[in-house]
Amino acid sequence: MTGFWENKRVLVTGGAGFLGSHLVERLRKRGCQNISVPRSKDYNLVEMEAVNRLYRDAKPHIVIHLAAKVGGIGANRENPGKFFYDNLMMGVQMIEVGRQYGIEKFVTVGTICSYPKFTPVPFKEEDIWNGYPEETNAPYGLAKKMLLVQSQAYRKQYGFNAIYLLQVNLYGPRDNFDPKSSHVIPALIKKCVDAVENGDKEIVVWGTGKPTREFLYVEDAAEGILLAAEKYNRPEPINLGAGFEISIKDLVELIAKLTGYTGKIVWDTSKPDGQPRRCLDITKAEKEFGFKAKTPFEEGLKKTIEWYKETIKGAD
């Protein structure tokens, strides 16, 4: 499908971020010459004026909307209002102005946080409306879910070709390792690597270790989004994941092993666990646009740890 991108002007919001940077690299490899990557200092997408100006400047045929206000459980608990408002306004305005401009396609990347707290495992796309999301990240998850409602409504009324992908937690090189806002894998890698370096005898981890999570390597995620952009043109949301689950306890032990940390792991059970289980049914993505994650989990973790040691620790 490389010819698909050749004469297209593509706008990637969040294109300088963790996922976006990998996606833009793959777009270039597919022969896309005209990619716009707006920076938040130039275009605050929460403001309608900036969204209008961005469309005027970029004149896109296709928009891939990755820009989001994101963080782990702690960041979600501290900023529920901001996470709700910023994510809702960015998405709603990007879609509305895209419709006004008559763009060819709009790709929204949603989140597994939109699923109900007690969704049967593996999560099927049809389960998305069967309950309220887990409380700590419900404002974020619901704001993103409104973009699914908007996409379907706009397709019905205006014939607007908007697609919606439900993505699991990502990990990989270039992830956010800031302990104030990072997700679980980079937070644990940092804890273990720092503990080894400092000779610490114990690390403290949030929760009980019982919940399960699914993780998708960032390069696989970028490939999945581009395949969907090329081949998928329907209103139903599609899961994007790796199709496995691992308990937080097993994840901590695996990262400890891969980083060489041999000290004690202390569980702070006063801190929340988040959603009890997370694992997606990924059959539709393979059926609809031929996507299957390729990176084995341990291999992806090793690459992420290497990148952190060389790039972040190496720069200290």
Q: Active-site residue among 43, 55, 115, 140?
A: 140
Instruction: Return the structure tokens found at 145.
Output: 């879910």
Residue 199 CB neighbour total at 10 angstroms? 7
Q: In this structure, are residues 248 and 185 in contact, taking their beta carbons and an 8 Å threshold? A: no
Instruction: List the beta bridge partners of residue 106.
Output: 63, 162
Q: In this structure, are residues 181 and 71 in contact, taking their beta carbons and an 8 Å threshold? A: yes
Cis previous bond, 211, omega within 30: no
140 noted as active-site residue: yes
Q: In this structure, are residues 187 and 270 in contact, taking their beta carbons and an 8 Å threshold? A: no
> DSSP letters of 30-83?
TT--EEE---TTT--TTSHHHHHHHHHHH--SEEEE-------HHHHHH-HHHH
Q: Where are the beta strands (DSSP E) in 137-199?
A: 162-167, 169-171
End-to-end CA distance of the chain: give it in Å, rounded: 42
- Signed CA dihedral, 29, 30, 35, 37: sign only: negative
Contacts of 189 (CB under 8 A, 6+ apart): 177, 255, 259, 301, 304, 305, 308
Show which residues are catalytic. 140
